[in-house]
A and B are shown apart, each in its own frame.
Chain A
Amino acid sequence: MVSVDSLYDKIKRWTVEFVGGRGYSNQMTGYMTGELQTAVFTLILASLFRIFSIPLAIVLLIAVVAAILYFAPMIVHIERESSNDLNRVLFWVVIYFAIIIAVTLWGR
């Protein structure tokens, strides 16, 4: 009988390719859990937009699901953006500061 991969097998093989090494290493479980957490958290953030408008929230949720499937694994990007390089951190600080000033000035 021909062996057919289930969806679980496909996702597992796909994720293992990025981290490398054995499938069930200590680090691997951390990355997979982190990926799941990031996905769930992004969905929750998208659903918060229901405060502004429910159709907007639904559209955002669908967009976020598509983005998660396209950009996966996101955990690698999260780890990269959380780099402790001083210049990268200061870059994000400037972005944050600009957003905070823009939001509070726009909101008044």
Chain B
Amino acid sequence: MIEVTIQLLSFFAAAALVIIGITGMLFLDNLIKKIIAFILLSDGVNLMLVAVGYVEGGIVSILLPGMSPSEFASKAILVFPVGIVLTNIVISVSTTAVLVALVIMLYRRYGTLKSSKVLKEERR
């Protein structure tokens, strides 16, 4: 019998976000909606990373005065995934900025946000 913990529920939520994001990027026609779907995908990845570092009843990984190292090691949440999440936030902001800039350029050129019109196949 699988124990339902917060960590397990977080993994499911992250998976749902990732699936919604990928589906949105595949099937939505509007370019801005595709970008929003990418943001959802990125948030799902962040949630998954945070859930990897989760410890039941854990404390923030700061070694306070009076705390023994063994108590700290057993209770503190994993800090490296949190660092990865911070980096991922920066990366997804940059990627979103680049995507939006490109969409603006293409909107000025083609006058529409429909990917079926803007990104249609180039036949040479």
Contact = CB atoms under 8 A, between A and B. Distances in A.
B120 interface: yes
Contacts of A53: none
Contacts of B119: 85-86
B78 to A, nearest CB: 26
A83 B26 contact: no
Tell me whether chain A's interface is mostly helix, strand or loop, or mixed: helix
B3 interface: no
- A interface, how many residues as a size bin? under 10
B121 A90 contact: no
Interface in B19-56: 22, 25-27
B121 A85 contact: yes
B122 A86 contact: no
B112 to A, nearest CB: 15
A84 B122 contact: yes
Nearest to A85: B121
Contacts of B25: 90
A94 B122 CA distance: 22
Nearest to A86: B119
Contacts of B87: none
B94 interface: no
A91 B26 contact: yes
A6 interface: no
A85 B119 CA distance: 7
A90 B27 CA distance: 10
A104 interface: no
B121 A84 contact: yes
Leading 8 A-B pairs by shortest Cβ distance: A85-B121, A83-B121, A86-B119, A90-B26, A84-B122, A84-B121, A85-B120, A87-B26
Interface of A: 83-88, 90-91, 94
